[in-house]
Amino acid sequence: MLELKNVCFEIESEKGKIKIINDISLTLDDGKFVVITGPNGSGKSTLAKLIMGIEKPTSGQILLDGTDITNMSINERANLGIGYAFQQPPRFKGMTVRALLSLAHGSELPEHECCTYLTNVGLCSKDYLNREVDTGLSGGEVKRIEIATLMARELKLAIYDEPEAGIDLWSFAMLVDSFKAISKNKHESVIIISHQERIMKLADEIVILENGKIKKQGAQEELFSAILSELQNECDFGRDKEE
Amino acid sequence: MINNELNKLDSGLLDIIADFDQTSVGAYNVRKNGQSVQRSSTENVTITSKTDKAGIDIFIKPGTKNETIYIPVIITESGVEEMVYNDFFIGEDSDVLIVAGCGIHNCGDQKSEHNGVHTFHIGKNARIKYVEKHYGDGDGNGERIMNPQTKIFMDENSHCEMETVQIKGVDSTVRENTAALKAGATLILTERMMTHGDQTANSDVLISLDGEGASARVISRTVAKDNSVQVFYPKVIGNSACKAHVQCDSIIMDNAKVRSIPEISANHPDAQLVHEAAIGKIAGEQLIKLMTLGLNEEQAEEVILQDFLR
């Protein structure tokens, strides 16, 4: 179980302190599939980075299975079973896709297992295993490999930061299927930051962030229709013509 | 009297620089402390000593396929300085692997220095792969110096892949590679280097693409740590309708200095020449990514460098 207690994250700017995350408390039960959504700049990625340890909260507490991990390093959290798929993954010259997947897995991965993970994200595995994760791959390819590195791990909590960004429609369908399988398995808790309807529909729970705070939180069935109607009401463009 | 026996230290060095041991199959010549100590020729590959200077001639018969030739050099005594000339005559249509390498173990206070000039005459349609590793160790104050030169003459439609690796322990190195390519010849030159401490490394490459359809790729990946200094000067000249790509990438750390000066020069309107050069430190994002996989910062750095130099 993941618990966030009154977590705040501030940064210094020319205009003084800015609260990126403003007093967020959240509990994520084991095996739950949660989608965090909200407008750009609402603090979604920062929240994910705080859970992974890439950023440290200015105040508040983060607990995993009752253990306070607030001051733990990134790798300590990783070894406790937290994983994070970057929104914009870095590239590595000389590192093959297979080596990266093996590194994620924690031991040398047999070819057929590598292939399964790559197929799950819509990549034809044979073509990719020995390619380097460098500038020779497109943004969408690197992104899908990033997602595969998380799937190759045994995790308690997997965090995906906008997995759909930069991915074409065909691969996206594949990705949704993979997330569907994960959500059915219920082995690990999953947090996905996403704006995609089809991903939101897989969730047990949806959290809407706005200005660093939780605006709404609840079961997918309740919140999903509310989000859609809210979005439709927000945009007045073209409405005059119909009236 | 020359001691022709190879001891444990020798075997260790030979294994590091050339994956060579007594069971290796193929023609070989092992040079130790300035003398040829072991040699074997095969039906297709003949190795003979030069009569006018130090070094050997290696004759590979036309049509020789799938043979490996080992020519490792080791220096285990302090104060050895040598200048060696090895000439390879590679027959037409052959396809061979040549494994060279130099290991210096210097426990004394005098410098040990190996200067080697390797000349390759590659016949028409022949293919060679040449692998060379440089390594130094030993806890003495004596410097370990290696200055390799290669001169490559490539006949029509020949192919040469050259991999040079210098990972550890060489205090000073000046490397010079030159190549001249006739029509249809292809050359791939890969250089991997890591310097540390107060080491210095200079690497000059001069490739002349003379015949139509000749092509060359130069890939240089280096890591400079501590106070070490590296200078790269790869130059490609296009004298015909030819293609070349030069890529120099360096990771710089600590107080190291790296200069990278790629030059491309075209003397023909159909010469297509490209160069890229980059120097930079390990990106923070890369370290963070690997830490999210459970590695600590030092392990993450190690993995990044290892793969970069792979």
pLDDT digits (tens, 9 = 90+) for A10-35: 999 888 899 999 999 999 999 899 99
Please identify among residues 219-238 of chain A the ones whose CB lies closer than 8 Å to any CB of chain B. none
pLDDT at B2 (0 to 100): 46
- B297 in a domain, yes or no? no
- List chain B residues with CB under 8 Å of A83: 292
Is B106 in contact with B138 (CB distance < 8 Å)? Answer: yes
| B303/A84 Cβ within 8 A | no
Q: What share of chain B in percent tops pLDDT 70?
A: 97
**Over 90: is that where the pLDDT of A165 sits?**
no
Containing domain of residue B129, as a range?
8-283
B-interface mutation test, from A49, A51, A95, A150, most B Cβ less than 10 A away: A95
The structural domain count of chain B equals 1
pLDDT at A22 (0 to 100): 95
- Mean of the per-residue pLDDT values of chain A: 89
CB-closest option in A93, A94, A104 to B293: A104
**Model confidence band, residue A237 (pLDDT cutoffs 50, 70, 90):** low
**Over 60: is that where the pLDDT of A240 sits?**
no
**Over 50: is that where the pLDDT of A243 sits?**
no
**Model confidence band, residue A123 (pLDDT cutoffs 50, 70, 90):** confident
pLDDT at A5 (0 to 100): 97
**What angle in degrees, to the nearest 10, is found between the helix axes of A169-185 and A111-120?**
110
CB-closest option in A79, A90, A103 to B303: A103
Q: Quick: pLDDT tens for B166-196.
A: 878 888 899 999 999 999 999 999 999 999 9
Residue B193 CA to residue B136 CA, distance in Å, equals 13
Q: Determine the distance in angstroms separating the CA of B294 from the nearest CA of chain A, rounded to an integer.
A: 4
Residue B129 CA to residue B60 CA, distance in Å, equals 14
Considering the domain A2-227 in this protein, what is its CATH number?
3.40.50.300
pLDDT at A225 (0 to 100): 80
Is A100 in contact with A91 (CB distance < 8 Å)? Answer: no
Strand runs labelled E in B155-214: 159-168, 172-181, 186-195, 200-209
- Comparing B13 with B116, which gets the higher pLDDT? B116
**Model confidence band, residue B1 (pLDDT cutoffs 50, 70, 90):** very low
- B101 in a domain, yes or no? yes
**Over 80: is that where the pLDDT of A236 sits?**
no
- Comparing B114 with A75, which gets the higher pLDDT? A75
Q: Closest by alpha carbon to A145, among A181, A117, A170? A: A117
- Comparing A141 with B10, which gets the higher pLDDT? A141
pLDDT at B211 (0 to 100): 97
Phi, psi of B23 (to 5 degrees): -95, 0
- B303 in a domain, yes or no? no
Q: What share of chain A in percent tops pLDDT 70?
A: 94
Residue A173 CA to residue A157 CA, distance in Å, equals 23
- B304 in a domain, yes or no? no
- Comparing B18 with B209, which gets the higher pLDDT? B209
**Over 60: is that where the pLDDT of B3 sits?**
no
Kindly give, in sequence order, each residue whose CB lies less than 8 Å from that of residue B293, ignoring residues fewer than 6 positions away.
A78, A103, A104, A149, A153
- List chain A residues with CB under 8 Å of B293: 78, 103-104, 149, 153
- Comparing A170 with B80, which gets the higher pLDDT? B80
Task: Read off the pLDDT of each residue in B236-264 and give the average, rounded to a whole number.
Answer: 95
**Model confidence band, residue B107 (pLDDT cutoffs 50, 70, 90):** confident
CB-closest option in B288, B303, B309 to A74: B288
Q: What share of chain A in percent tops pLDDT 90?
A: 58
Q: Quick: pLDDT tens for B255-307.
A: 999 999 999 999 999 999 999 999 999 999 999 999 999 999 999 999 999 99
Please identify among residues 32-91 of chain A the ones whose CB lies closer than 8 Å to any CB of chain B. 52, 54, 73-75, 78-79, 83-84, 86, 89-90
Which tokens go with A20?
Answer: 């990126």
**Over 80: is that where the pLDDT of A41 sits?**
yes
- Comparing B150 with B17, which gets the higher pLDDT? B150
pTM of the model: 0.84
Give A127's DSSP letter.
Answer: H
Please identify among residues 184-223 of chain B the ones whose CB lies closer than 8 Å to any CB of chain A. 221
pLDDT at A235 (0 to 100): 55
| A78/B307 Cβ within 8 A | no
pLDDT at A186 (0 to 100): 62
Burial class (CB in 10 A: 0-12, 13-18, 19+), B293: buried
What ipTM was estimated for this complex?
0.91
- List chain A residues with CB under 8 Å of B222: none
Residue A76 CA to residue B17 CA, distance in Å, equals 38
Which tokens go with B30?
Answer: 């092992």
- B2 in a domain, yes or no? no
Task: Read off the pLDDT of each residue in B73-83 and give the average, rounded to a whole number.
Answer: 86
